[in-house]
Chain A
Amino acid sequence: MPVTVRTFASSGEAAAALSSDRGARYLGGGTLVMRALNEGDISISTIVRASDHALTRIEAAGPRVTIGAGVTFARILAERDLSFLHAPARSIGGPAVRNMGTVGGNLFAPNPYGDFTVALLALDAVVSVRGGLGSRDVPIEEFLQSRERQTGTLVLSISCQKPGSAEAFRFRKIARIKPKGGSVITLAAHLPMSGGRIVGARVALGSMAPTQIRARAAERALEGRSLDAPTIGAAAAAAVEGTSPGDNALASAWYRREIVGVHLRRLLSGQE
């Protein structure tokens, strides 16, 4: 059947259209949905769009930031108050993809993409979604684990706390092609410090499992300790626990398991 495009003024109406039509997909920047159409995905028969301004709003002045799902990576890079997210945003695609790709869309991007989402996972972000029963906030880890069931919902925004300092939040994407390329492995770490010790360690990994995941064993090795060489070593050794990477054209599962500890060590010690 032919493809129909439906544009709504409010996100509520858009969400209703999404949840009531199995063949409907929400069009953010187009990098996922248009690609699927170009490649012959005939399961998409309706494209849903919303012109709701709330979807492109950025609130970043205070300690907690809220970013509309339709905000592009280029806009994040232009926002000084979001400087802690510049490294993840810059790692996405080339300049055109950054003008198009959105924060909300990235939540659905499969391996080897979805790098911005790795950063959000390490920052304990909360995803605000609008489904059939109204809107609600979903912790990002829960959102990712139930991602398959989320295609009928509309993501409105994400929110998270700003890191206490620039050093507390680190991000690295390992790609074969620089400056851009699909991810071999993506790492993000949020290490808030209190009295010289890490409190609330978060380590997130991309391309190490079917979705972005937390590296809980590494987090446990860091929690309550100071960020010194032995601690970093312990975290690096634990990095691979709980991961289940796959093979793809960029790297094999074996290779990913071999390097995750190496790159976590470099990320935590500030090495290139």
Chain B
Amino acid sequence: MAKTALQFRHNGRDVAIFVDGGTNLLVALRELIGDMTPKFGCGQGGCGACSVLIDGELHLSCLTLAETVAGRSVETLDGIKDGPNLHPLQRAFAENFAAQCGYCTPGMLMAAKALLDRNPSPSRTEVVEAISGNICRCTGYEPIINAVLAASGGRARA
């Protein structure tokens, strides 16, 4: 199979891989780069477990042709820590019990980060809208919404 060279920035590091035609970004990240943080949940665009940031915008990596990120910046959960310290969102999720099985958590955190990077003080409605593409089967969403509001230092339970 013909392989295409692909270079991009992954969590601030320059990386280069070879991809088969048609490979999606989720597979490229997990199997070729070794970043297991984005997850496979559906392959259809319905669950958001594969969410990543491409040039700061929230995208679904399972529906992204890997080649299209050439020269761009891709951020995953693996990259949001600040050295050994947790990102405020990670700390807020932990403190607000915003995860049970944890499988939706990487996607939820990236969706929350995409929100707070643009809108540091969102309302509750804006938080709900921001995670509306992410499915959680365990928590019932309330702890996650509370965690995002808490991380924004904004109006909790607004």
Contact = CB atoms under 8 A, between A and B. Distances in A.
Interface size class of B (residues with CB under 8 A): 20 to 34
Contact of A39 (B44, B59, B60, B132): B44
Contact of A99 (B24, B44, B57): B57
A95 B133 contact: yes
Given A95-B111, A97-B60, A179 B65 contact: no
A31 interface: yes
Contacts of A31: 45, 60, 63
The 7 A-B pairs of least Cβ separation, nearest first, read: A94-B133, A3-B22, A38-B43, A3-B21, A34-B63, A2-B1, A30-B63
B62 interface: yes
A172 B114 CA distance: 27
Interface of B: 1-2, 4, 20-22, 24, 43-45, 48, 51, 57-60, 62-65, 67-68, 111, 114-115, 128-134
A35 B47 CA distance: 13
B62 A179 contact: no
B67 A99 contact: no
Interface of A: 2-5, 27, 29-31, 34-35, 37-39, 44, 47, 49, 74, 93-97, 99-100, 179-180
A2 B24 contact: no
A95 B129 CA distance: 8
Given A34-B62, A47-B22, A99-B59, A2 B2 contact: yes
A239 to B, nearest CB: 29
9 contacts: A2-B1, A3-B22, A30-B65, A47-B65, A49-B68, A95-B114, A95-B130, A97-B45, A99-B58
Contacts of A3: 20-22
Given A30-B65, A47-B22, A179-B129, A5 B4 contact: yes
Contacts of A95: 58, 111, 114-115, 129-130, 132-133
Nearest to B62: A38
A39 B65 contact: no
B107 to A, nearest CB: 9
B60 A100 contact: yes
Contact of B60 (A44, A96, A179): A96
A110 to B, nearest CB: 13
